[in-house]
Amino acid sequence: MSRIRAKDTKPELILRANLRAAGITGYRLHYAKAPGRPDIAFVNRKLAVFVHGCFWHGCPHCLPRKPKRNKWYWLPKLERNKERDAEKAAALKDAGWRVLTLWECRIKRLPDAQVARVIKAYDALATVRRSASQRPRRS
């Protein structure tokens, strides 16, 4: 387990490369000041992107196999990962962030669609901020 990385995983690198190719920059990696320390954080837009590995976080799309040996160890460990993910997302939402979760299997198979999801959320938050700044101010 010492070789399993938390940062710069292959799906995360694929996503970042596609974001750069789409012209989306200005994000922070593993931003510690945000609750839950998201993998990619657009701080000005308050958009947090988590890139989850299918096995470790229990992907609902590809339904990875559960370990057959040492179930007493693995099943609670994997379940606790899901609970922790929910806690992190809730903490970010309470702090006013928008949370986007991308799955390893989806990034590998459909990277353009996943980048489009990030861009859509990114642009939607830009529109909201722009319209809020253009409102007439009360004197």
pLDDT attached to residue 109 = 94
CATH of 10-127, one of 3.40.1410.10, 3.40.960.10, 1.20.120.80, 2.120.10.80: 3.40.960.10
Q: How far apart are CA 11 and CA 13, in angstroms?
A: 5
3-state secondary structure of 117: helix
What's the pLDDT at 36?
Answer: 92
| Low-confidence residues in the chain, pLDDT < 50 | none
Strands (E), the chain: 28-29, 40-42, 47-52, 98-103
The three-class DSSP label of residue 17 is helix
pLDDT (0 to 100) of residue 130: 57
What is the model's pTM?
Answer: 0.84
Pairing between strand 40-42 and 47-52? Answer: antiparallel
Per-residue pLDDT, 7: 80
What pLDDT does residue 50 have? 96
pLDDT recorded at residue 51: 95
